[in-house]
Amino acid sequence: MIKSITVENFTVIGEKSTLKFAKGIDVVIGENGVGKSHMLKLAYALVAVSHEASREKPNKEMFQKMVARKLMALFRPDALGRLVHRAQGTKKCHIAIRFHSKSHDFDFEFSTRSKTDVSIGKMPERFLDASSIFIPTREMLSIYPGFTALYRNREIEFDESYFDLARALDAKPLRGPRLTRLKPLLERFETLMGGQIHVENGHFYLEMPGRGKMEIQLVAEGIRKIAMLAYLLINGTVYDKSMLFWDEPESNLNPRLIKEVAEALMILAKNEIQVFIATHSLFLLRELEILSMSEEYREVPQRYFALGWDEKEGVATLQQGDDSDSIEPIVSLDESLRQSDRYMSM
C-alpha cells in the first residue's frame, strides 16, 4: 500500500508537497483544473509500472524507460517535459513514492527539456506484487467489446488507463479457494446491483432475479459501475492488498446511485483494498462521512485532500487531514452554501 507521494513542479503543483495516505479510503477534492485527476493518475502510474516491472525484473536503465513510457501513455503529452510545472526557465520535476514496505520505494526526476526519459534516483529493492486498477470517468463495460484489439491496432483518443482496464476485464474468473474466500464480499455487491454479473461471448450481462438476463448497455450507469467492480473482484484484479483508483465515481449518477457507489467503496476499503478517489461532489463526500460514522465502517481509515488554486502565484494549493473539516475551503461546500443563501433570500 502507498504511504506517501512527494511531488515538486508536477503539472499544476509548484512547491514541494507530500501527500500522506490512509490505508483505507483517500479522497482528493477540488474544482475542475486544480490537478485532482493528475494526482490520482500519477499515483496509479507509479504503482502500475512497479507491478509491470515485477514480471520483467528490469535493471535501472530499463526501469527508467518503463516509468517514462507509462507517464507518456497515461497523460499523453507531446513530450514528457510538458508535465513539468510551467514557469520561466528550465525546471525539474521531482517525484518520490513511499510504501508501507520500504523495499518498494523509488524516486525519479525529469526536466522541461525531457522528451521521453526520466532519471531514477532511488531504485526499488523489490517491485510490487499487488495489482492496481484505474477507473476513468467514462464508464467502461458498455464499450468493452473489442476495445483491446482496437486500442492495439488503431490510434484512438483514449489514454492507457482505458486499455489497462479493458485488459483487466479480459481476465477470466477465479476458481477454487480464492473465489470462495471472496463470496461474502461478492454477495454484498450483488445486493447493491440487484443481480449477478457475467460474460458471454465478450459481452457483459446482469442476471437479475425475476427479470432475467439484461444486456449491460440497458442497465443504469451507476449499476454498471458497481457491476464492473464486482467483476474485477471475481477475476482477482481487485483482491487483498490491491489498490483501486477512481476518477469522479459520481459522474452521471443520481444521488441514490451515488449512495450505493459510496457503500461499495467502503466495502472494498474494509476488506484491505486501498481506495483512492477524486471528486468534486459534496454529496459523495458527505455520504462517505456518514458511512464512516456507522458501526460497520468506523474502523476504516480515511484521509482527505483539498486542492485549490492560488491566482496570484498560478499554482495549486494543497490541504490534507483525517476528516473534511480539516481541509477548508471545499469549493463544492462553499458553492452549495451560497446556493442555499440565494434560495432563502428569494
Q: What is the pLDDT of residues 95-121, one digit of tens each?
A: 999 999 999 999 999 999 999 999 999
- pLDDT the model gives residue 298: 92
Q: What is the pLDDT of residue 34?
A: 74
- The residue whose grid cell reads 503529452 is 77
For residue 219, give the C-alpha cell. 442497465
pLDDT digits (tens, 9 = 90+) for 192-234: 889 999 999 889 999 998 888 999 999 988 889 889 989 999 9
Distances (CA, A) of 328 to 4, 21, 269, 317: 21, 18, 25, 11
Q: Which whole number is the average pLDDT over 253-267?
A: 88
| pLDDT at residue 331 greater than cutoff 60 | no
d(Cα 6, Cα 20) in Å, to the nearest integer? 9
Q: What DSSP line would sit under 266-293, residue for residue?
A: HHHHHTT-EEEEEE--HHHHHHHHHHHT
pLDDT number for residue 134 = 95
CATH superfamily of 2-131+240-344: P-loop containing nucleotide triphosphate hydrolases (3.40.50.300)
Average pLDDT over residues 149-176: 91
Lowest mean pLDDT among 159-163, 279-283, 329-333: 329-333
Spell out a b/e string for 1-37, using b for 16 or more CB atoms within 10 Å of the CB, else e: bbbebbbbbbbbbbeebebbbbbbbbbbbbeeebbbb
Q: Residue 267 burial by CB count (10 A; 0-12/13-18/19+): exposed, middle or buried?
A: buried
Q: Is 239 helix (H, G, I), strand (E, B) or coil?
A: coil
**Nearest alpha-carbon partner for 305 in 44, 14, 38:** 38
Q: What is the pLDDT of residue 156?
A: 87
Return the top range by mean pLDDT from 71-75, 173-177, 303-307, 338-342: 71-75
| pTM of the shown model | 0.91
- DSSP string covering 165-189, please? HHHHHHSPPP-THHHHHHHHHHHHH
State CA 243 to chain mean position distance.
Answer: 8
Tens digit of each residue's pLDDT (9 = 90 or more) over 61-92: 999 999 999 999 999 999 999 999 877 778 89
